[in-house]
Amino acid sequence: MKPDVLIVGPMYKPALDALDREFTTHKLWLAPDRKALLASCADRVRGIATTGFDGADAALIDALPKLEIISSFGVGYDTVDVAAARRRNVVVTNTPGVLNDAVADLAIGLMIAAARRIPQGDRFVREGKWIRQGLPLAQHVTGKRLGIVGLGRIGQAIAKRAAGFDLKISYHSRHRVRESPFAYYERLVDLARNSDFLVAIVPGGNETYHLIGEEVMRALGPKGILVNVARGSVVDEKALVKCLQEGALGGAELDVFEKEPNVPEALLAMDNVVLQPHIGSGTHETRAAMGQLAVDNLLAHFAGGPPITPVT
């Protein structure tokens, strides 16, 4: 008998296919009546497969008395109520590591896009403006100061790439990273004051809510560029709009937003802002690896062993 797994929302198609192959699946987002679907399978569901977008809240966890494991597709699990899962002895797993390169690549791409004004140059050519004049000059990248907020798995992958551009790398996190060659700032505002680029790559959730607020943005300054590839909740969006409108912050490159997929109207009109639809891990190779890991976590658990990448 295949174990019953509830899939909360849509995900990468090959991952969905693998879930359908390995388990008896119940697709919550496709059900016209969510309550009725849950009532029909609640006494059999032993696993939840979800994504960073859909998560699993306490109500869902408590509606499934036989639940043993929640496997989330994504490294960030701020949308999964881990405390509620723990209370029920339900294991939570995520997909760390396999997406480091893709997210780091995008972070570096956004930094360069901002400094060299790549999206603006593209629009300039398409709009036929090159015929009349040249594009205003941009900022240099090589040798500038990069502040990384969160020198974890992805933060370190960003640093590795940044070293190739001779960037002077510093970082902030709650703890100093032992054996790191980079300068550590205990106070984020001091890191911002000493950075040209500030890249956020910390987890979301209550602890990092609006970690990057007006004071930090003003410290980064009128030429400073903020890159957020972490979670929308990490940056105070209202303060961001205000700082950009006042010229207190030079630019923002954003892959994530507070209320995805909604983006503040004011940002859409700004030329010094580049917007991406949360695609840090969005390559075929990476999504395939994430899907495999998410499925393998379920398989390992149901085979009686420990899952591969439990959230600790």
Interface residues for ligand NAP in 249-288 (CB under 6 A)?
255-256, 278, 280-281
Using the structure block, give the residue that is written with the tokens 């040249």.
134
Look at residues 21, 71, 30 and name the one whose alpha carbon lies nearest to residue 51.
71
User: DSSP letters of 226-267?
Assistant: EEE-S-GGGB-HHHHHHHHHHTSS-EEEES--TBTTB--HHH
Size of the residue set binding ligand 8YV (CB under 6 A): 11
Nearest distance from C-beta of residue 73 to ligand 8YV, angstroms: 5
Contact between 308 and 293 under an 8 Å Cβ cutoff? The reply is yes
281 binds ligand 8YV (CB under 6 A): yes
Residue 208, contacted partner among ligand NAP, ligand 8YV, none, CB below 5-8 A by kind = ligand NAP
- The count of C-alpha atoms lying within 13 angstroms of the C-alpha of 125, restricted to the half-sphere facing its C-beta, is 5
150 binds ligand 8YV (CB under 6 A): no
Q: Which does 56 bind (CB under 5 to 8 A by kind): ligand NAP, ligand 8YV, none?
A: none
Segment (H or E) for 117: none
Total residues contacting ligand NAP (rule CB under 6 A)? 29
In this structure, are residues 232 and 257 in contact, taking their beta carbons and an 8 Å threshold? yes
In this structure, the number of other CB atoms found within 10 A of the CB of residue 36 comes to: 9
Q: Which of 15, 71, 73, 250 binds ligand 8YV (CB under 6 A)?
A: 73
Smallest distance from ligand NAP to CB 261, Å: 13
Which residue ranges make up the site for ligand NAP (CB under 6 A)? 75-76, 96, 99, 103, 150-155, 173-175, 201-204, 207-208, 211, 229-231, 255-256, 278, 280-281
Which residue ranges make up the site for ligand 8YV (CB under 6 A)? 51-53, 73-76, 99, 278, 280-281
